Amino acid sequence: MDTKWITCMEEDDKECLESAGEILRSGGLVAFPTETVYGLGGEALNPSSSEKIYAAKGRPSDNPLIVHICKFEDIYRIVADTPESREMLKVAEKLAHAFWPGPLTMILPKSDEVPYETTGGLSTVAVRMPKHKTALALIEKGGGYIAAPSANTSGRPSPTLAKHVKEDMDGRIDMIVDGGEVGIGIESTIVDLTVEPVQILRPGYITAAMISQIVGKVDMDVTILSDASGQTPRAPGMKYRHYAPKGELTIVSGKQEDVVKYINQALKKAREAGLKTGVIATDETKEQYEADLVKTAGSRQDEATVAKSLYGILRDFDEEGMQVMYSESFPLDGIGQAIMNRLLKAAGHHVIQL
Ligand code: AMP
Ligand code: MG
């Protein structure tokens, strides 16, 4: 398949929106920017589009897709109409009022309109309204309900630039819409509204504290920051070793000077063994490492930049063939929790605590 590349920096680029919308409405696949990461879009209510998404990503078919909408009212068609789900929708309305459009995905009981192909066989549906003008315009042109998982091959870091999408999806999808670099760089927060209290299944830019201000008590899936419980994550996608670089990544946690010293010693050994080495550093420490490739994720004072840089760095390390990589650790509150959740998964939970 020939994958068309189209640049669309303005949300009112009619030519781009028309051609992408037409592909979506006829059951094809279009990758497009959102504020979190690039999404791989297909019609959410069309089972054959969802099947194409799984095939293009090589995604296990039990890992459900998030349905993207462009206006809140559209949620009612895809959520079950029962007394229980109407109560859950009241919570959804409050959260949407606070955070939509934005990087928050809500899990609710699905209506019959949503095919099981889209929900990975589950009777619940994940729904989100992204805060990105091109994405919103495309969802509308594509018929209002667009399933859009991250536009990476399953197991690779999510794409934060259109060129990352091309690396993974060229020849596998109909079109890539290049809208420049994404704003956040880490996937949406997922909150399950079908349980009481509501539960965060995947941390993101919208934190537990922010959600708690709107709905009161919020629980966390125990698997978010630890693999010690032996439990299976409740978001099926979180059980896979996602975001995995090809080399071996270790996170080192402790006082800054101890971390730098430990990593440098480990790098020396790896280099002596003839291995290619990389470090995920911060602006505060980047000059202090001796590795083949040192990449700063940004300043420790600015975790939003760290979140945005992370996946691009992991991809760069893959491209350069890094075999042994070390990363500094980040605080576990605020957006740091989402950063550490992704880093821990990339490292297969391999952490050195100094
Ligand atoms: P992605 O769009 O690639 O960020 O992946 C979507 C994530 O949402 C995966 O981790 C899925 O397992 C999760 N997800 C989607 N639908 C549901 C659902 N109905 N229940 C629980 N998790 C879900
Ligand atoms: Mg993904």
Q: What is the pLDDT of residues 154-184, one digit of tens each?
A: 988 999 999 999 999 999 999 999 999 999 9
Instruction: Please report the atom of ligand 1 found closest to the CA of residue 39.
Output: 2
- Residues near ligand 1 (Cβ within 6 A): 63-64, 66, 107, 119, 122, 124-126, 149-150, 187, 190, 201-202, 235-238
Helix H or strand E encompassing 194: none
Is the per-residue pLDDT at 239 higher than 90?
A: no
Tens of pLDDT, residues 301-322: 999 999 999 999 999 999 999 9
Q: Is the pLDDT of residue 92 over 80?
A: yes
What is the location of CATH 3.90.870.10 in the chain?
Answer: 4-185
Closest residue by Cα to atom 10, ligand 1, is 237
Q: At residue 63, what is the residue type?
A: N
**CA angle centred on 301, ends 129 and 152, rounded to 5°:** 40
Task: Specify the higher pLDDT residue, 48 or 229.
Answer: 48
Collect all residues with Cβ–Cβ distance below 8 Å to 195 and sequence separation of at least 6: 219
Distance CA 310, CA 297 (A): 6
CATH topology of domain 4-185: DHBP synthase (3.90.870)
Residue 253 is encoded by which pair of tokens?
A: 């946690």
Predicted pLDDT at 246:
87
Round to whole Å and give the CA distance between 113 and 66: 15
Intervals of CATH 3.40.50.11030 along the chain: 248-353
CATH class of the domain whose range is 248-353? alpha beta
* Ligand 1 atom with least separation from CA of 158: 3
What is the C-alpha to C-alpha distance for residues 170 and 168, in angstroms, rounded to an integer? 6
Is-contact 111 80, C-beta < 8 A? yes
Averaged confidence pLDDT in the chain: 95
**Nearest to residue 243, comparing CAs of 314, 339, 304, 298?**
314
What pLDDT, on the 0 to 100 scale, is given for residue 241?
63
